[in-house]
Chains A and B, each alone.
Chain A
Amino acid sequence: MSAQPVAVSVDSLVKAFGSIRALDGVSLTVRNGEIYGLLGPNGAGKTTLIRSLVGLITADAGTVTVLGHRLPDRGVLAEVGYMPQSPALYADLTVEENVRFFAAVHDLERHAAAQSTADALELVDLSSRRRSVVATLSGGMRQRVSLACALVHRPRLLLLDEPTVGVDPQLRAELWQRFTRMSGEGTTIIVSSHVMDEAERCGRLGLVRFGRMLAEGTSAELRRLAGVERLEDAFLVLSESTR
């Protein structure tokens, strides 16, 4: 693990799709080993922000620095894991073949790839289904395979775009235990969500709306700022006040 204090730093990022400004000068700093939650309604710019952290978006203005490298920089992506919103997998391959493929494209050599694949499948509790073809799995299982693909190369930074959509409460709790354990081991995690009980588990939260950062802080800080008891209410109050 590196001793750098900052894992991700985004400065005044702007990205427009046609007449719609998906990102409108958003800035963000995430420290090493932190779990940072991006909150915001649909269409707030969360996905665009996460995609810009893996170089999928070329910004119109502003800068993105990931693990000390100013993007665009393909090399740093070997240390970043990205889990898109919908489980992007090869439905005609088995669970194990999918995970091993993503291990290999992240530069793991054969031996290490085999070991890491086994570990990742263990982590998402799919070792027993490793020979199943993905097309035969349920939605929740696919979500877990997708997560295994994102973390198989033991990234220092893990980006999760609504990782628990369509996942039942029990599994969601299990996944969050794992995220917390990984963060304890030094992995930085940025996760987008609009589920409030998930937000409570994040170290810090960023409230995104209209492509801007409306408020930032721990759950307690945000609730105090809004002067309300529940995070959900804080979210609504803060969104309203800055409209």
Chain B
Amino acid sequence: MSGRRAGAISLRILQQFRHDRRTLMLLFGAPIILLGLFYFLTGGGSSLPAVDVVNLDRGPLGAALATDLAQSTEISISRTTEARAASDLSADTVAAYVILPADLSTRARSGVIAPTVHLEGTQPALTQPVLLALDQSVTRASRNLAAAEGVRVPVLEPSLDYLHGGPGLDTLDYFGGAFIGLVVFLLVFVVTIIAFLRERSQGTLERLMASPLRRADIVVGYIGGFMVVAAVQAVEVVVFTLYALHVHNQGNVALIVLLTLLMTLVAVNLGIFLSMFATTEFQAVQFIPLAIVPQVLLSGIVFPVATEPGWLQVVSRLLPLTYGVDGLRDVMLKGNGLTSGPLLLDIAVVVAFAVALIAAATATLRRSAS
């Protein structure tokens, strides 16, 4: 080994970094952005899951419990009526509602606290804080009451009711649908951005621009070619997920395939569009941490959008993957069909993203050719 020769390589690498500002920005900027996102997603300044509390208790415990829940650091409650709470839950504006029954205080004296907890059920990350908050508040509120009345501290035995899903579902069932969307989106995006970048760097794009082809011909041609492969991939992924992994599915398989295909349509055009901003395959690969990882974190796959800080929820709502994941969950966990408003909205938004990106991809071809 020669120190001078090895040193020449090290020096050359540093010179290359100096000429590639983009890569430097990525190396020093991306960690701050990604770690910052983690901070906000895992609690720093997050929004709390919304929970409705319906107090029907004729004794004092219900009121004490509701007051204590209002101080909770896990959930954010509103007190309301049973009918209102049920409609909030089905409209997905709350993660759960808790009914404190009429005999709550009476039964507490005989040692058991048995509220009914109605959970939305499609996102485990929202279920857990509700039960934790309830447990903490019951301990605090009933301890005071028990001390005042000289009885034992009662045991919490909530009866859980799931609007969707339920205790029969495991982690795979919750994440399966979201992962179908993610896997397909990520792979198709990477393959398209590299393929299109090669078209630019090997000079064939210039040749195409010197032919009678129109820009729209090129974009539509790319969509056609990739969608054939993507369709096979979508069917493969869905069949594997449902029939080999036995991920729970409540809805129509054709809808899952449709949503998956729409996600690939978005991914193909995002790839063509972003390839405009990369000059080498190296730079294209850098779009994965920049364009994909934040989407994975913000699309609600792991961290529910509802618990993000308000401004971050706005960002999440601007990302196509958020709607794809939501749509897939609507179908697979809730069994929603084309009559469901929220699912139609998800589909419409994904289609709108696809159309906007097709237009953007076509427009970037114009700039590159002059």
Is there an interface contact between A84 and B212, defined as CB atoms closer than 8 Å? no
Is there an interface contact between A88 and B206, defined as CB atoms closer than 8 Å? yes
Q: Provide the A138-151 mask, 1 if CB < 8 A to any CB of B, else 0.
A: 00000000000100
A158 interfacial contact with B, CB 8 Å: no
Which residue of chain A has its CB nearest to the CB of B202? Answer: A88
Is there an interface contact between A58 and B212, defined as CB atoms closer than 8 Å? no
Is there an interface contact between A78 and B212, defined as CB atoms closer than 8 Å? yes
A203 to B98, CA, bound (A): 92
> For residue B349, which residues in chain A have a CB less than 8 angstroms away from its CB?
none
Is there an interface contact between B207 and A107, defined as CB atoms closer than 8 Å? no
Q: Provide the B184-216 mask, 1 if CB < 8 A to any CB of A, else 0.
A: 000000000000000000111011111111100
Is there an interface contact between A105 and B210, defined as CB atoms closer than 8 Å? no
A91 to B204, CA, bound (A): 10
Is there an interface contact between A102 and B212, defined as CB atoms closer than 8 Å? no
Is there an interface contact between B203 and A77, defined as CB atoms closer than 8 Å? no
Is there an interface contact between B207 and A106, defined as CB atoms closer than 8 Å? no
> For residue B210, which residues in chain A have a CB less than 8 angstroms away from its CB?
51, 54-56, 77, 80, 82
Q: Which of A159-188 contact B (CB under 8 A)?
A: none
Is there an interface contact between A75 and B204, defined as CB atoms closer than 8 Å? no
**DSSP majority for the A interface?**
loop
> For residue A80, which residues in chain B have a CB less than 8 angstroms away from its CB?
210
Q: Provide the A73-88 mask, 1 if CB < 8 A to any CB of B, else 0.
A: 0110110101010111
Which residue of chain A has its CB nearest to the CB of B211? Answer: A105
Given the known inter-chain contacts A58-B370, A105-B208, please indicate yes or no for A90 contacting B214, CB distance below 8 A.
no
Q: Provide the A32-58 mask, 1 if CB < 8 A to any CB of B, else 0.
A: 000000000000000000010011111
Is there an interface contact between B209 and A105, defined as CB atoms closer than 8 Å? no
A215 interfacial contact with B, CB 8 Å: no
Which residue of chain B has its CB nearest to the CB of A78? Answer: B212
A133 interfacial contact with B, CB 8 Å: no
Q: Within the complex, what minimum Cβ distance (angstroms) separates B30 from chain A?
A: 31
Is there an interface contact between A84 and B206, defined as CB atoms closer than 8 Å? yes
B1 interfacial contact with A, CB 8 Å: no
> For residue B203, which residues in chain A have a CB less than 8 angstroms away from its CB?
84, 86-88
- Between A54, A102, A105, A106, the greatest number of chain B beta carbons within 10 A of the residue's beta carbon is seen for A105
Is there an interface contact between A91 and B370, defined as CB atoms closer than 8 Å? no
A89 interfacial contact with B, CB 8 Å: yes
> For residue A54, which residues in chain B have a CB less than 8 angstroms away from its CB?
210
> For residue B370, which residues in chain A have a CB less than 8 angstroms away from its CB?
56-58
Given A77-B211, A88-B207, 5 more contacts at CB 8 Å?
A51-B210, A78-B212, A86-B203, A88-B206, A105-B208
- A-B CB proximity, top 10 nearest: A88-B203, A54-B210, A82-B210, A78-B212, A58-B370, A77-B212, A105-B211, A88-B204, A88-B207, A105-B213
